[in-house]
């Protein structure tokens, strides 16, 4: 595959694979800010740049609708992600965010939003180096404007705006293979509403299995098993930050969360993110933590259902409760909240519970990438401590 755009970028190149002489770390040095292009890249004539203020209800609705109708679909076009407006505001307004990194493209004639790409600042540790990065996400070109090389221009423009803030690295994921993944992860799915998943055609009745037998197979208790299992509250931020920083230190790549980050990313927000912890009934210590985010999908071409309610495993830490038991409690509360499916990647220590908790492997893969940062060799998913939205 000729990657004519990506071969021009400071990313690991396929031709370099196996060249162990290349050092790990930044590929290109920072440019003096005076040398960063001060003006936006040129778009094709009919289009213009716009900065999307998600605090504006109208603009947030435009972004929501563009993504709802044109964002990522699975290979069988059964689902399309349907990020909610409150989720987009959460994902794009972390501590220290830049409005200028929420980039849209409008048609000059009718001012319709036809493309979008975003960045948010993050501190990412790679081995023992904490690197300021941009997390790039929500790259979307309207279906009618595909294959016109708009994506490279969008990527160069967000790169330029990130450079203007003196940040030279980025992290991103994609379902497609590009130069060059730092790791490749597998999605796993745990049915919570097996009847719906079979009705939409995602799951099939097992051989010699009836529907009632299948429902029974995935049945969960009505309430969590762990004593002291409760929702996270603001007062828990310091303890959860300590727990999480300690836990994430074991991974090669992981976010460097401080208390401000934990308050934003992990405090429960209805229909966006749920987080629970175990407070020891004896000592009142916070010993364990689990979280998942809410990302519905439109169900394409089904008469009965239009929305799939999916929970996505986020960050989970155990120091006392077995991870198997904690994650089963997460499944229990997700079922209580009427999710249809609980999804997880095989990152961190997730592999240790997936099969036993009746997750099935998905057919999609998720590739992780760093921009302008070379990894000497690819990581195993279990060495990755980073979940992007």
Ligand X SMILES: CCOC(=O)c1cnc2ccc(OC)cc2c1SCCC#N
Give the residue numbers annotated as catalytic, written as ranges: 389
Provide DSSP, 34-71.
GGS--SPPPPPTTEEEEE--TTSHHHHHHHHHHHHHHS
Backbone angles phi, psi at 320, to 5 degrees: -135, -55
**Binding flag, residue 308, ligand X (CB under 6 A):** yes
Minimum CB–partner distance for residue 199 and ligand NHW (Å): 26
Which one of ligand NHW, ligand X, none is in contact with 357 (Cβ closer than 5 to 8 A by kind)?
none
Q: Is 79 an interacting residue with respect to ligand NHW (CB under 6 A)?
A: no
> Binding ligand X by CB under 6 A: which of 6, 168, 202, 369?
202
Question: Contact region for ligand X (CB under 6 A) — 52-60, 78-86, 92-100, 260-268?
Answer: 78-86
> Which CB atom, from 136 or from 326, has the smaller least distance to ligand NHW?
136
Q: Which of 264, 362, 356 is nearest to 312 (CA)?
A: 362
- The verdict on 341 binding ligand X (CB under 6 A) reads yes
The span of 53-61, 74-82, 149-157, 231-239 binding ligand X (CB under 6 A) equals 74-82
353-372 footprint of ligand X as x/- string (CB under 6 A): ---------x-x--------
Instruction: Give me the residue label for tokens 């394409």.
Output: 300
Using CB under 6 A, which of 22, 36, 43, 72 touches ligand NHW? 72
C-alpha–C-alpha distance, residues 29 and 166, integer Å = 11
Residue 214 interacts with ligand NHW (CB under 6 A): yes or no: no
How many other C-beta atoms are found inside a 10 Å radius of the C-beta of residue 244?
Answer: 23
Residue indicated by tokens 């050092």: 23
Encoding tokens for residue 279? 């407070």
Taking CB under 6 A as the rule, which mask of x and - marks residues 255-284 in contact with ligand X? ------------------------------
Q: Which residues 6+ apart lie within 8 Å of 321 measured at CB?
A: 226, 278, 287, 288
**Nearest approach, Cβ of residue 380 and ligand NHW (Å):** 22
CA distances from 372 to 10, 35, 169, 170, 208 (A): 5, 18, 5, 7, 52
Q: Does position 36 bind ligand X by CB under 6 A?
A: no
Q: Which does 140 bind (CB under 5 to 8 A by kind): ligand X, ligand NHW, none?
A: ligand NHW
DSSP 258: -
Judged by CB under 6 A, does residue 71 bind ligand NHW?
yes
Report whether 128 contacts 115 (CB < 8 A).
no
Among 81, 138, 172, 257, binds ligand X (CB under 6 A): 81
Distance in angstroms (rounded) separating the CA atoms of residues 325 and 331: 10
334 sits near ligand X (criterion: CB under 6 A): no
Contact string 172-211 vs ligand NHW (x = CB under 6 A): xxx-x-x---------------------------------
Q: Does the footprint of ligand NHW cover residue 137 (CB under 6 A)?
A: yes
Q: 22, 36, 43, 72: which one contacts ligand X (CB under 6 A)?
A: 72
- Options 6, 47, 64, 79; binder of ligand X; rule CB under 6 A: 79
- Token match 């495993």: residue? 313
**Contact region with ligand X (CB under 6 A), list: 47-55, 71-79, 129-137, 322-330:** 71-79
Q: Are 287 and 239 in contact (CB under 8 A)?
A: no
DSSP letter string over 275-302? EEEEE-TTT--EEEEEEEEE--EEETT-
Q: How many CB atoms lie within 10 A of CB 166?
A: 11
Nearer to ligand X, 16 or 351 (CB): 351
Q: Which is nearer to ligand X, 73 or 279 (CB)?
A: 73
Residue 213 site contact among ligand X, ligand NHW, none (CB < 5 to 8 Å, cut-off depends on kind) = none
Nearer to ligand NHW, 168 or 359 (CB): 168
Whether the CB-CB separation of 318 and 326 falls below 8 Å is answered with: yes
First to last CA, the chain: 28
- Can you list the alpha helix ranges (DSSP code H) found in 307-362? 323-336, 351-354
Whole-number Å distance between alpha carbons of 35 and 173: 29
What is the contact surface with ligand NHW in residues (CB under 6 A)?
Answer: 3-6, 70-72, 134, 136-141, 146-152, 155, 158-159, 162, 167-170, 172-174, 176, 178, 371-372
What is the contact surface with ligand X in residues (CB under 6 A)?
Answer: 72-74, 79-81, 175, 187, 189, 197, 202, 297, 308, 310, 341, 343, 362, 364
């Amino acid at each position: 595959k000729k990657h004519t755009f990506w071969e021009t970028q400071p990313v690991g190149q396929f031709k370099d694979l196996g060249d162990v002489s290349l050092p790990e770390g930044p590929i290109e040095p920072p440019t003096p800010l005076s040398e960063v292009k001060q003006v936006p890249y040129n778009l094709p004539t009919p289009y213009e740049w716009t900065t999307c203020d998600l605090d504006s209800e109208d603009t947030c609705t435009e972004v929501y609708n563009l993504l709802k109708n044109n964002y990522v679909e699975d290979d069988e076009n059964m689902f399309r992600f349907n990020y909610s407006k409150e989720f987009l505001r959460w994902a794009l307004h972390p501590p220290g965010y830049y409005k200028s990194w929420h980039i849209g493209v409008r048609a000059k004639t009718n001012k319709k939003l036809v493309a979008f790409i975003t960045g948010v600042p993050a501190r990412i540790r790679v081995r023992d180096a904490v690197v300021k990065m941009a997390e790039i996400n929500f790259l979307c070109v309207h279906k009618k404007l595909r294959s016109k090389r708009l994506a490279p221009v969008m990527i160069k423009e967000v790169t330029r705006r990130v450079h203007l803030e003196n940040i030279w690295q980025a992290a991103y994921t994609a379902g497609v293979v590009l130069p060059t993944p730092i790791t490749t992860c597998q999605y796993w799915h745990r049915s919570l509403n097996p009847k719906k998943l079979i009705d939409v055609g995602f799951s099939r009745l097992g051989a010699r299995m009836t529907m009632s037998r299948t429902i029974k197979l995935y049945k969960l208790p009505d309430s969590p098993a762990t004593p002291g299992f409760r929702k996270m509250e603001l007062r828990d931020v310091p303890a959860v930050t300590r727990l999480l920083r300690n836990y994430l230190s074991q991974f090669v790549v992981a976010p460097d969360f401080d208390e401000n980050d934990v308050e934003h990313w992990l405090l429960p927000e209805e229909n966006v993110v749920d987080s629970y912890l175990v407070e020891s009934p004896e000592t009142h210590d916070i010993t364990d933590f689990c979280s998942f985010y809410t990302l519905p999908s439109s169900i394409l071409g089904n008469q009965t259902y239009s929305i799939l309610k999916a929970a996505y495993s986020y960050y989970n830490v155990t120091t006392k409760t077995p991870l198997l038991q904690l994650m089963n409690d997460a499944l229990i509360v997700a079922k209580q909240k009427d999710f249809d499916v609980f999804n997880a990647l095989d990152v961190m220590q997730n592999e240790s519970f997936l099969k036993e908790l009746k997750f099935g492997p998905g057919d999609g893969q998720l590739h992780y990438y760093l921009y302008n940062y070379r990894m000497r060799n690819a990581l195993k998913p279990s060495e990755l401590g980073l979940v992007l939205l």
